[in-house]
Structure 1
Amino acid sequence: MEELLIVIHTLTHEMRAYELAILVVLSLCSFSLAAEMHGRWLAVRGIKIQAVYCGVLSFVCLWALLVIHPRQILGGSGLALALSVPAGLVLGAVAGRIDRAVIRHSNRQHLRQTYKATLSRQADLRARRPTQPLRPRVTPAVALVDGRRTLGLQRIQQNAWQPQSGHEFGLWGVITVAVLEELIYRGFLVAVCFLLPGPLLIGLALAGTVAVFALSHIWFGWVHVVAKLPLGIVALLAVLTLGTVLPAVIGHVFFNVKVWHDVRTMR
């Protein structure tokens, strides 16, 4: 009876480069891929986009940990690991304050623009019908945006997290997303950046990871893209300083839990 032989192919340098390239592309477009899968096949089955996103992140993260040794992502000295907890808490608190400040400023700007549009409309109506009484009416915010923006908002409302829908992320959901995103954006992608030759390419690649992380929140509006830039920057600085992804993970978890708590409090 012939013995069953299992042949394990060792990746060559060229094959590993292709694998890294595929993983980088999947890492950079995780949310877009999840949104596409959800819109095409899974939405009709009642599966929420948050679950699809977690599934895509988990797949990419597990594959990345098989390609990059976990020590390259989770490594660091004992002192660095000990400092990761307080550093992460400070990171999350600072990023949270900046995030709320950006969103508050955007809300004030939006209200100011709506008020000016209302006054302009009232003045126009007075000029056209000077003898008729004018009943004040606030112009809907959707009237201030063009058709493409309206369509984008409709897609966001269908796919994004809506607290009033009753299907919002639970506490463990926001924690899971925070951990997986940091393992990918500040773990795997940062490790890949340092494989590039020369400090200039490394610096540009690191800046690119921060930009893509912020742009992955485009489904929630440009305000959230701007608001997430500080989180990405301080998380990256913490990883580069301590040599481990742990402070970024802790900071992002603290940030997400605080946002989750604030949203539930406002309901």
Structure 2
Amino acid sequence: MGFPGTWMTESESVIYRVVPKCACSTIGQIMYYSDHGAFFDGDIHDADAGLHKWAFDASQPVIEAAVRDHTAYAFTCVRNPYTRVLSSFFDKICGIQRNGKRYRGNLVPLLIQKYGIEVGGPDGKDEFDQIRSFRRFLLFVRDTIRFRKPMDPDIHWSSVSGHVSTFIHNGGSYDHIFWTEAFNDGMQTVLDNIETKHPVVLSDIPRFNESEGHGPKRLHPVEDYFDDLSMHLMYEIYKPDFELFRYDFENPGNKMPLGEIDLAEVHAKLGS
């Protein structure tokens, strides 16, 4: 199975397990900059040179050796399940993607037909009941994750712990896991532990939010989207994410973690 979703700098200074919707565009650009002294011109997910990616055949043995021998500092970044699934809804379901089309072709028509959601019209700009549509989307998310129907879960809403675990299952171990919500502190810890060809000053780094502007603006506070049933579904879907990464299940309005991540616990529970 190897190490899907894993990126490494060409200098082999650092390995990153990508988790969608968790600042991955910014992290990828920082890695690229640390080697080349410039940012990739475009979406870093489209870069086919300048970074090792598991998706490239030539990169796989290099990544595998670095993970196996633990010669590169390994990290990942996680995010509050409430804000992450909301972001997935507005970006991937309501938004028009950078290719000018809907995400995954027939996915949105399927959701409109089977779950009765609205997405703001053909261009996502019409008014619609965001709360009602999001809660119906959450039912769909639960169905994909629990029952793999009407499709397999998508990487943008499958659990963070699921992404994080594949790296451990296949023989990797993390040196650091940090929160999107405390990005600068977490990323600085990574930079402090590696040697970079070009110095990275985090305060000078822009945020590369490649999904920004794809979909309609969220009109309500996070907590308004989650009633009692929605919270029940969230716990059913994302219980390990809340527990392992110390997020506040009881209060959707609190995006900040309640305690420190225990790396030994993460490895023990996700590696079993």
| CA radius of gyration, larger in | 1
**Higher relative CO (CA 8 A, sep ≥ 6), structure 1 or 2?**
1
Which TM-score applies when normalising by structure 2? Answer: 0.27
Instruction: Tell me the TM-score normalized by structure 1.
Output: 0.27
More helix by share: 1
Structure with the bigger percentage of strand: 2
